[in-house]
Amino acid sequence: MIGEKINQLKRNKYFKFFSNRYILVLILFSVWMLFLDANSLLTHRKINREMRELNQNKEYYQKEISADKKMVEDLKDPRKMEKFAREEYWMKKKNEDIYLVEIEE
């Protein structure tokens, strides 16, 4: 009974295919390279995701740098520098008073 089932299994075309030693080695190699190796597919996906995030950060910081360069150029004008100092740092002249109005949201 068990011997017949084993013989049927050995005659099965899928069993013959997957019991071939070259196919077994190929399957093991593929599993190793896809999931277990240091250069696996999962590692590459993680690295690619990090690269996309870093490129997005790079673009953001490049925009920020260009905006800051523009601001530095604008602040070379004394009137704009005075306006910036008054608005951002609440600086005032000796004979002035400053009133801050806070708006509740």
Whether 16 maps to a domain, the answer reads yes
Whether 25 maps to a domain, the answer reads yes
pLDDT reading at 73 higher than 80 = yes
Q: How many domains does the chain have?
A: 1
Query: Whole-angstrom distance between the N-terminal and C-terminal Cα of the chain?
Result: 83
Report pLDDT for 2: 77
Report H helices in the chain: 2-11, 13-18, 21-31, 41-74, 78-89
Whether 99 maps to a domain, the answer reads no
Whether 70 maps to a domain, the answer reads no
The values of phi and psi at residue 38, to 5°, are -65, -25
Q: What is the DSSP letter of 94?
A: T
Whether 18 maps to a domain, the answer reads yes
pLDDT reading at 89 higher than 80 = yes
pTM above the 0.75 mark? no
Whether 93 maps to a domain, the answer reads no
Contacts for 42 with CB less than 8 Å, ≥ 6 apart: 34, 35
Residue numbers of the domain that contains 47: 2-65
Whether 7 maps to a domain, the answer reads yes
For residues 55 and 95, which has the higher predicted lDDT (pLDDT)?
55
The values of phi and psi at residue 97, to 5°, are -115, 145
pLDDT reading at 87 higher than 80 = yes
Report pLDDT for 71: 92
Whether 54 maps to a domain, the answer reads yes
Contacts for 90 with CB less than 8 Å, ≥ 6 apart: 98, 100
Residue 79: pLDDT band (50, 70, 90) is: very high
